[in-house]
Amino acid sequence: YPIFINLGALCYALAGLWFTGQTLRWTDLPASGRSFVMLALFFGTHLFYYTISEPGMSHVYSFAFVAAFLSMGGRYFREGRDKALPVLAFCLAMIVLIRPVNGL
């Protein structure tokens, strides 16, 4: 059971980094710059600690859904896709359900 909690936290951290990479594609950073930013975000913040040492805490899961919300929000405002609205609503609902303080 604890192994799968660790595995789940790692999957959510990777998903959050992937969504962060999608958001960074809209900038003028080259691919190496985006990779550096994502590595610095993972290893330079407490995200690495909460992924490896405290996977049961809500921080990693909140990071993944906030990154997804920002990525989908950017896609909605850049491309005007109405299909992104239900995904945005789902991400916001999950952010509030995981940690209600993050909804403020």
**What pLDDT, in 10s, does the model give residues 25-40?**
998 899 999 999 999 9
- Answer for the pair 103, 95: CB distance below 8 angstroms, yes or no: yes
- The residues near 24 (Cβ < 8 Å, ≥ 6 apart) are 34, 37, 38
Separation between Cα atoms, residue 14 and residue 9, nearest integer Å: 9
- pLDDT in the model for residue 27: 87
**pTM attached to this predicted model:** 0.91
Residues 57-89, buried b or exposed e (16+ Cβ, 10 A)?
eebbbbbbbbbbbbbbbebbeeeeeeebeebbe
103 band by pLDDT with thresholds 50, 70 and 90? confident
Domain count, the chain: 1
Q: Domain containing 27: what range?
A: 2-103
- Answer for the pair 42, 59: CB distance below 8 angstroms, yes or no: no
